[in-house]
Structure 1
Amino acid sequence: MDKKVDEWLREEIEKRILSVCGDNKRLPCSLARGIAEELEVKPVIVGKIADQLGIKISACELGCF
């Protein structure tokens, strides 16, 4: 991927994570997987970005994160 696309994608993932969890600092597994599916990335990428934002994945259903 082009570096600018990577930056855009990262920013989009961050934006979606933050819009879902807000001040809670928890992102439900099902929503994390939904973000990954919508943006066509592996769930682990969403998980890593969430970790970098200090957000924990909650209610993990499949052990993806």
Structure 2
Amino acid sequence: MTKNNEEIKIAVQNAAKDGRLSCTAARKLAADLGVAPREIGKMADELKIKLFGCELGCFD
């Protein structure tokens, strides 16, 4: 099930703590939402949320 940008935005905002989101959490969020990790990365960039502990450059 794919999500629209507003749903992704809300999910990323809810998952982020103190303006940060771990790579592991972002990858899980992408899987849960049925979107590519890159979509989570783009939304995190738009929201000025820092991804940390990155694995494999999935969010570039």
Q: Please indicate the TM-score interval, normalised by the length of the shorter structure.
A: 0.7 to 0.9
Divergent runs of 4+, >4 A? none
Identity of aligned residues (%): 43
Structure 1, gaps ≥5 residues long: 1-5
Pick the structure with greater CA Rg. Answer: 1
Q: Please state which structure has a larger fraction of its residues in helix.
A: 1
Paired residues in the alignment total: 58
Q: Which structure is higher in RCO with an 8 Å CA cutoff and minimum separation 6?
A: 2
TM-score in terms of structure 2 length = 0.82
TM-score in terms of structure 1 length = 0.77
Structure 2, gaps ≥5 residues long: none
RMSD: 1.6
